[in-house]
Amino acid sequence: MHLTLRQLQVFTTVAQHLSFTRAAEDLYLTQPAVSMQIKQLENNIGLPLFEQLGKKIHLTPAGEELFRYARNIFQQLDEMEQVMERLKGGQTGQLDISVATTANYFATRLLAEFNRNYSDITIKLDVTNRGGLLRQLEQNEKDLVIMGRPPEQMDLVAEPFLENPLVIIAAPDHPLAGRDGIPLSALQGETFVVREQASGTRSAMERFFSSRGITLNTGMEMTSNEAIKQAVEAGLGLGIVSIHTVARELQGGHLVTLSVEGFPILRHWYVVHRQGKRLSPAAQTFRDFILQEARPMQYPAREG
Ligand code: PGA
């Protein structure tokens, strides 16, 4: 059966009016052109669709069935058109994003706000460390990635949108707590609870100290910021974390930041995708939203 949408459209119009003449007027066609389309449709289907009783035309049982289907088809087409329009406008669709473990502390708030504004965009969120993000970028697995310092060896589009200061945290009863202008050398006798090797926080911290010729005494290694905070609070050592991760503990007085020379290490969060990637309109909407929401800032020259 080789139906065309045009034939179905002509058929539906005739069926609505039960008149070839009025259908022709509606469709800006001549009446013979309408009759021709119906004839072809009937030939394609192999059944009569209309019957003439006296002056009036009626739908045959096959015509009734076809009318029912045709209405559904046109309703679906209307819906399809609307969805396509909304996809084009970035109002609906799916978003597959990935954020650094540390970025998740503010990313979820941004996502909640985004969801209030664009509730028809479905988001799939993956949370992983820097190593995981680099792999995902390499494989082009995600629409967008939120990470620290984008790698130089990959062709990326990376836009900074928020500062990410790394601070040294300690238990409130730590001997260095409350002291001002602690020299870096004073840290050499301390033990640090650190993130795993593939963490961006960890590599920024290592770059900072090695460029100053300082070797830190690293104790336990942990894959989560939460674990580090607990360990520091329990007195297992000092920690270096993003300020985003400790807002509550600082406010509640469970942890303090140390005032150490050169700190905080200033870093930034970037929204990143591969160069040449064709962002979906939903992804563009999300990127614009982030850049606008997380107020633009001054970017100091030093990048940790
Ligand atoms: P992470 O954060 O330490 O959770 O990997 C990424 C980064 O700070 O670059």
Each domain of the chain, given as residue ranges in start order, spans 5-70, 90-163+268-293, 166-257
Please, what is the end-to-end C-alpha distance for the chain in angstroms? 67
pLDDT at 295: 63
Task: Kindly give the distance from the C-alpha atom of residue 226 to the centroid of ligand 1, in angstroms, as a whole number.
Answer: 13
Q: Is 200 in the pocket of ligand 1 (CB under 6 A)?
A: yes
Q: Is 106 helix (H, G, I), strand (E, B) or coil?
A: helix
Say if residues 95 and 123 touch (Cβ distance below 8 Å): yes
Running along the chain, 304 residues long, what does each successive block of 10 average in pLDDT?
A: 92 97 96 97 96 93 97 93 87 93 91 93 95 95 95 93 95 96 93 96 95 91 96 96 94 97 95 93 94 63 42
Residue 184: phi and psi, rounded to 5, are -55, -35
Pick the CATH number of 166-257 from 3.20.10.10, 3.40.250.10, 3.40.190.10, 3.20.20.100: 3.40.190.10
The CATH number of the structural domain formed by 90-163+268-293 is 3.40.190.10
Does this chain's domain 90-163+268-293 share its CATH topology with 166-257?
A: yes
What pTM did the predictor assign?
0.77
The tens digit of pLDDT for each residue in 73-117 reads: 999 999 898 888 888 888 899 999 999 999 998 898 899 999 999
Which among 122, 124, 121, 125 has a CA at the least distance from the CA of 91? 121
Pick the atom of ligand 1 nearest to 195's CA. Answer: 3
Q: What does the alpha-carbon distance between residue 52 and residue 14 come to, in Å, rounded to a whole number?
A: 13
Task: Kindly give the distance from the C-alpha atom of residue 229 to the centroid of ligand 1, in angstroms, as a whole number.
Answer: 15
pLDDT at 300: 42
Q: Which two tokens stand for residue 52?
A: 């003439």
Report CA-CA distances (Å) from 42 to 35, 74, 150.
Answer: 10, 19, 63
Q: Is 244 in the pocket of ligand 1 (CB under 6 A)?
A: no
pLDDT at 141: 93
The CATH number of the structural domain formed by 5-70 is 1.10.10.10
